[in-house]
Chains A and B, each alone.
Chain A
Amino acid sequence: MLQFTRWKIIAILLTCLAGFLVAMPNFFSKETVQSWPSFMPKKQLPLGLDLQGGAHLLLEMDQDEIKKDWINNLRDEARKVLREAKIGVTGIGTQGLTQLVIKLAKPDEREAAVKALYKVRQPIGGALLGTGGYDVDVASGSDAGTIIVKESEAGIRQRISNAAAASIETVNRRVNNLGTSESTIVRQGTDRILIQFPGLKDTKELKKLIGETAKLTFHEVHPSMTAEEAKSTTIPAGYKIYPSDKSEGGGDYLLREQPVVQGADLADAQPGFDSRTGEPVINFRFNQAGARRFATFTKDHVGRPFAIVLDDKVLSAPVVREPILGGSGQISGNFTVESTNTLAVQLRSGSLPAKLTIVEERTVGPSLGADSIADGKRAGIIGGIAVVCLTILAYGTFGIFACCGLVVHLMLTLALMTLIGSTLTLPGIAGLVLGVAMAVDANVLIYERIREELRTGKTPVSAIDAGFQRAFVTIADSQLTTLACALIMFWLGAGPIRGFAVTLTIGIITSIFASVTVVRLLISYWLKAQPKGRISTVPV
């Protein structure tokens, strides 16, 4: 066991050297590292949000809103399809959030209607990759002359998945306006989005930016009927009552539900001021398609009002004085300078498919992060010194070798963490320190065994040999069980648990090499350095 072949020694030394080189940048400031020659590794362990400060927000999409949107679209489409097929309908109602019930005027047209309604179906996964299923099932209802159009499970799943992907893109665009580039935005589960934003000091702005769906639409106002009249009689088909954005005295509006132009048609939106009144406004410009539609609309509606609606609330309902042909305009409303800034960003970034709710927030200020680093460093150094003292006190010369092993262990752990690109968190530091304590255990097991073997009367060299050999089984067993624990923590763990599990896992992997192999190599060198390679007592 104490013999090492030449290539093995080289391999061990190279591993240690590589570990030291990779771990090294973590001990210096970023500036110092940048000034190093180009062949040196420069990658540093990024600090977790808890150490450098930053925000962690978990958002949840409103699934019901997406379902509601879809079912409304589906109803419009079904109506259109049946109109085209010239099939009379007495009513299309929604049942829950996933089902349409269509009542036909003539029950014997049912078969034709079902066939016509097949047009609203979309194959799941797109036309090319479709697996044969459809997002909507069309079937005859139990009552005569009714048809049930039901969204399939897979269809709903696909909708929500698409909406989540779209939300991430929109959030990404909005967040980019905050000027920090390092944010990560990822999907979690089916309907959640995780935003991690290192270095963000104030989450107020961020929350405002993602807090609204910012769906901007331009609607035609009903030419003759007011909202009050509609409420007391019946709402005309295709129209809907929208509340005003103003908290008091705004009144309601009766608007055509189908918008003339939508936020998606915006080419640009910028905050500005009205040239006459000086109040904050949004200046916008439509893209070509939007401009054309808006031009046609305004030409036909000179002298009549239209409504600008944001998130289903009417911002303003100006009267068209002359046709707007240039495709640009101005939105005024109940704005402040701040809110126009936010709104402009939101409009430029596009609307969210559904409202996002913050379900978890963890924010750490930079001062706390700095304190945590200082605390972690201090505790690490003091803990390390304590371990070194205890080890040398208990095991003498061999204790010194064990401490060398610990240094290699620490370096390799840091190096591996740097290589796999994990982040260093406060629980991670605790894991690192605990890993050191666990690594010492390997040496304790070996040295106690050597002592036992010596007591049975073995010669020093064979006692050392037997100590390493016998202890190895125990070390492997105990490390593997701890590894099982660490892997479960990683697998199931959230946030702090995961950071801890990563360092612990890496620590266990490196400890076998550092505390067993490296220490054994050191001891074999030490033995060779003794006069004639013989020793009378083992300094353990």
Chain B
Amino acid sequence: MLMKFIPVFKGADIFPHDLRLPFMKFKGPALGLSIVAMLVSIALCATFGLNYGVDFKGGSLIELKTKSGNADISALRARLNALGLGNVQIQQFGSPDDVLVRLEEQPGGETAQQAALKKVTESTSADYTERRVEVVGPAVSSELRMTGFIAVAAGILAIVAYVWFRFEWQFAVGAVVALTHDVLLTAGIFALFQFEFDLSTVAALLTILGYSVNDTVVVSDRIRENLRKFKKMELNELLNLSINETLSRTILTGMTALAVLLALYIFGGQVIRNFNLAMLLGVVIGTYSSIFIAAPLLGYLGVKRDWSDMAAKSVAAAKTKAKA
């Protein structure tokens, strides 16, 4: 049969399993560091502010490509500044013949945006073609900002509700702190480097939530299992054991996710680069938060030790699921 032709070989089991890294020893400094990082992120967002993209700020974004040769950005800047459209941002985008033009939201409501776009088109149509145009008026941009904010908040709430339902409230607290941490830090980094923050960044934040909680749930699951297995073990030791036992999985999954995201970031094109950047940051931050925030918090909060009745239920549930 076909199966005979499949080579039989073991994989590289590179993670030493007896290594018991003392994660819980660092829980104090790690939590302290995370709190500081969160506060710094909030401060960054408050002082630098997020560099909102067209989606959230309103205004226009126009991607232009030269009809021949490389783009002369300074000439283009002079030409567009002469139109009197306020602050016009021009930058090279990917290749040297590709330019991104950003207009700020024009005063005068919805029609003013279209009028500004028309001026730019007329001024550039001789030597540039429009590759992409995004115009978002004041009404829509404020709605999108609201929607984006609600989406992230609702995402966190839904996850927390699920974790609470499946585990104990302490786990839910751990999850909510870890998720808030992930979102805040990613936003903080975006504020610090003034990366553009738009709808796709919100999509990335939501995915990061999903990824981070995925990590947290895997560790929590192991903690619950160990709580049943080692009824007498000291809690901090048990938490440490659980983190260590799932460490190889955490790292391997993290590596595959990073590999895919790096491929997307490098080869996926300019248009989704921002999204991928947020995702890359988020995977790293999310992995960190599951190990150094969600689990250690349990050490502080304490957790129910008698899981015998739950255990019976859970095993039964798993069996019926497996049968199905």
- Contact indicator A472/B321 (Cβ below 8 Å): yes
Q: Which of B93-151 contact A (CB under 8 A)?
A: 110-111, 113-114, 117, 121, 129-137, 139-140, 144, 147, 150-151
Q: A427-B203, A484-B159 are in contact. Are A477 and B131 (CB under 8 A)?
A: no
Complex interface: chain B residues within 8 A of A429 (CB): 268
Tell whether A287 is near chain B: CB-to-CB under 8 Å: no
Complex interface: chain A residues within 8 A of B13 (CB): 394, 451
- Contact indicator A387/B162 (Cβ below 8 Å): no
Q: Give A290 to B218 CA distance when docked, in angstroms.
A: 75
Tell whether B19 is near chain A: CB-to-CB under 8 Å: no
Tell whether B260 is near chain A: CB-to-CB under 8 Å: yes
CB distance from B311 to the nearest CB of A (A): 11
Stretch of B70-78, B186-194, B204-212, B233-241 contacting A (4+ beta carbons < 8 Å): B204-212
Q: Give A539 to B9 CA distance when docked, in angstroms.
A: 5
Nearest chain-B residue to A487 (Cβ)? B158
Partner of A368, one of B132, B211, B317: B132
Q: A60-B110, A357-B111 are in contact. Are A363 and B199 (CB under 8 A)?
A: no
Q: Give A472 to B6 CA distance when docked, in angstroms.
A: 26
Tell whether A494 is near chain B: CB-to-CB under 8 Å: yes
Partner of B322, one of A203, A438, A472: A472
Complex interface: chain B residues within 8 A of A176 (CB): none
- Contact indicator B275/A427 (Cβ below 8 Å): yes
- Contact indicator A441/B214 (Cβ below 8 Å): yes
- Contact indicator A481/B214 (Cβ below 8 Å): yes
Nearest chain-B residue to A376 (Cβ)? B268
- Contact indicator B214/A482 (Cβ below 8 Å): yes
Q: Digit string of A345-372 for contact with B (CB within 8 Å is 1, else 0)?
A: 0000000000001111111110110011
Q: A379-B268, A433-B260, A493-B203 are in contact. Are A469 and B210 (CB under 8 A)?
A: no
Q: Which of B1-41 contact A (CB under 8 A)?
A: 1, 3-4, 6-14, 17
Complex interface: chain A residues within 8 A of B211 (CB): 438, 482
Q: A383-B259, A492-B147 are in contact. Are A480 and B134 (CB under 8 A)?
A: no
Tell whether A526 is near chain B: CB-to-CB under 8 Å: yes
Q: A433-B264, A492-B147 are in contact. Are A358 and B137 (CB under 8 A)?
A: yes
- Contact indicator A438/B206 (Cβ below 8 Å): no
Q: A375-B269, A390-B259, A448-B249 are in contact. Are A427 and B206 (CB under 8 A)?
A: no
Tell whether A457 is near chain B: CB-to-CB under 8 Å: no
Complex interface: chain A residues within 8 A of B253 (CB): 437, 440-441, 444
CB distance from A188 to the nearest CB of B (A): 11
- Contact indicator A379/B264 (Cβ below 8 Å): yes
Partner of B260, one of A386, A393, A400, A482: A386
Tell whether A124 is near chain B: CB-to-CB under 8 Å: no
Of B11, B135, B217, most A-chain CB atoms within 10 Å = B11
- Contact indicator B245/A452 (Cβ below 8 Å): yes
CB distance from B97 to the nearest CB of A (A): 11
Q: Give A472 to B159 CA distance when docked, in angstroms.
A: 19
Complex interface: chain A residues within 8 A of B255 (CB): 390
How many residues of A are in contact with the other chain, CB < 8 A? 93
Partner of A397, one of B6, B134, B260: B6
Q: Digit string of A305-343 for contact with B (CB within 8 Å is 1, else 0)?
A: 000000000000000000000000000000000000000
- Contact indicator B257/A489 (Cβ below 8 Å): no
Q: A396-B10, A433-B264, A472-B318 are in contact. Are A489 and B213 (CB under 8 A)?
A: no
Partner of B206, one of A375, A394, A489: A489
- Contact indicator B322/A469 (Cβ below 8 Å): yes
Tell whether A540 is near chain B: CB-to-CB under 8 Å: yes
Of A390, A451, A482, A488, most B-chain CB atoms within 10 Å = A488
Q: Give A448 to B110 CA distance when docked, in angstroms.
A: 56
- Contact indicator A500/B217 (Cβ below 8 Å): no
- Contact indicator B151/A493 (Cβ below 8 Å): yes
Of B8, B117, B162, B255, most A-chain CB atoms within 10 Å = B8
Tell whether A97 is near chain B: CB-to-CB under 8 Å: no
CB distance from A373 to the nearest CB of B (A): 9
- Contact indicator B130/A363 (Cβ below 8 Å): yes
- Contact indicator A540/B256 (Cβ below 8 Å): no
Partner of A372, one of B137, B259, B269, B317: B269
- Contact indicator A364/B259 (Cβ below 8 Å): no
Q: Which of A437-492 contact B (CB under 8 A)?
A: 437-438, 440-441, 444-445, 447-448, 451-452, 455, 468-470, 472-474, 476-478, 480-482, 484-489, 492
Chain A to chain B: the 10 pairs with minimum beta-carbon distance, closest first: A375-B269, A383-B263, A529-B3, A379-B268, A396-B11, A485-B210, A395-B11, A482-B210, A386-B259, A379-B267
Q: Could you list which residues of chain B lie within 8 angstroms of chain A, going by C-beta atoms? A: 1, 3-4, 6-14, 17, 63, 65, 110-111, 113-114, 117, 121, 129-137, 139-140, 144, 147, 150-151, 154-155, 158-159, 162-163, 166, 199-200, 202-203, 206-207, 209-211, 213-214, 217-218, 221-222, 225, 245-246, 248-249, 252-253, 255-257, 259-264, 266-269, 271-272, 275-276, 279, 314, 317-318, 321-322
13 contacts between A and B (CB under 8 A): A358-B110, A358-B113, A358-B137, A362-B133, A365-B131, A383-B261, A386-B260, A394-B13, A434-B261, A444-B249, A473-B321, A486-B210, A492-B154
